[in-house]
Amino acid sequence: MRLAMLFAQGISVWQKEVPTVDQRAGYRAAEYVTHTVLAHRKLSSLTSTEVILSLDSFKKNYAGHREGLDAMPCTNGEDSTQAFMDKQAVHFVDTALETYGNRMHRWLEDLVDCVIADPNPTVAFEVTRVLVAVYDGEDKDAAVQLIDGATVVEVEGQTVNLLELVADITQFVTTEILHESSVLFVHSETADDIKE
């Protein structure tokens, strides 16, 4: 939650040239769509306790603690304290992922067209191109597949595959969403301006 708040209350890239005294936090809608996908990916990578427990640094630093907890009986009478804590950790991460998934949906549906102003022009252009295709009733998957699968972009300090990023950003977009409840495409005049 702390990282999400740091992002949401941070200074957007477009304000970097503005004098510090005039910068305003929180104007991040253009970046939030991409951030949502990257944050979900990061959270998804934490779902395997086995991966975390297999890290050499984890084994080295916490082996003694784990051995002590393995020796302690658990109040449920079935597991060691450590085994029970491992199950709790998996449940916590699964719940966090489900909660985040529910929260991120609006950024990938009704608010997805905010990405048109993403500070990475390549991301903004390719997602906009796909959104225009969907708005016009064309096949979304075909529009996404026009992106070179080898193209990578730098986003939030990470190098990511552009095709995969655009596919993730546009995964829930439909013609109906764009026409009825999106931020920009819901207005036909604005949609016409975007197409130009």
Give the residue with greater pLDDT, 17 vs 119. 119
Tell me the pLDDT tens digit for each residue of 78-99. Answer: 666 667 777 777 777 778 778 8
The per-residue DSSP string of 9-35 comes to: TS--GGGTTS-GGG--TT--HHHHHHH
Quote the pTM value.
0.74
For residue 130, the surrounding DSSP H or E stretch is helix 121-135
Q: Is the pLDDT of residue 49 over 90?
A: no
State what percent of residues in the chain have pLDDT above 90.
45
Extents of the domains making up the chain: 1-38+113-196, 46-108
pLDDT of residue 50: 57
End-to-end CA distance of the chain: 39
Residue 127's nearest CA partner among 155, 156, 165, 157 is 165
